[in-house]
Amino acid sequence: MQELLRADDPMRYDIQRLFDPLPTIPDKYQQLIWKQNAMTYEEMVRKIPSFLSRGNTILDGSFSRKSVRERAYSIARSMGHRPYLVYCVCAESVVRRRLERTNVSTDDSSNVVTFDVYIKVKERFEVPLKDDVTVFTYDSGTNSAAVRNEHLGAETEMAAIDKGLRSIVVRRT
């Protein structure tokens, strides 16, 4: 663990997988987790021009910080693209049930492995509902979708996003 604290490059370590199963994470290690997360999003934002130069792009992540989302929106707009955001939500009871089910499966697609970790992430999350983009809210607990700031979107693009979300809704029922 001391080696990890002295590391110049925390990206060499799967920090979350090391600490998430523990009952508590010391602050000094939690700071490394947030640093690693920030580095990941910095790299993703840095690559947006390259992604968009090849066409429409979907960035998949929590984008928990508004400042990071704003940078992504700004880059997209500067390149002539209209940014959209899909905000996935569900009730905490659904999150708890899914985490319990995930912990007994071999699915390791998420770094959130305990409800305590979910709460830590949630506390730092900056809700995107007031972002200056069209926001599609998909509730995977109720299988419903809604749209906000429709006036900022293009009808054909919004229809394609809506169709994709509705196909998820149909499959989950």
Per the structure, the count of domains in the chain is 1
Distance CA 91, CA 144 (A): 13
User: In this predicted structure, what is the pLDDT of residue 59?
Assistant: 94
Read off the tokens for 19.
């600490």
CATH assignment at residue 98: 3.40.50
What's the gap between Cα 142 and its chain centre? 19
Range of the domain at 23: 2-172
Residue 72 has what DSSP assignment? H
Distance CA 142, CA 130 (A): 22
User: pLDDT of the chain along its 173 residues, tens only?
Assistant: 566 666 666 666 666 666 666 666 667 777 777 788 888 899 999 999 999 999 999 999 999 999 999 999 999 999 999 999 999 999 999 988 888 886 654 444 455 567 777 887 888 899 999 999 999 999 988 888 899 999 999 999 999 998 888 787 655 44
Q: 80 and 73 in contact (C-beta within 8 Å)?
A: no
What's the gap between Cα 112 and its chain centre? 12
Residue type, 57: T
Side by side, the strands of the sheet bearing 134-139 are 84-89, 134-139, 144-148
Cα atoms found within 13 Å of the Cα of residue 46, Cβ hemisphere only: 6
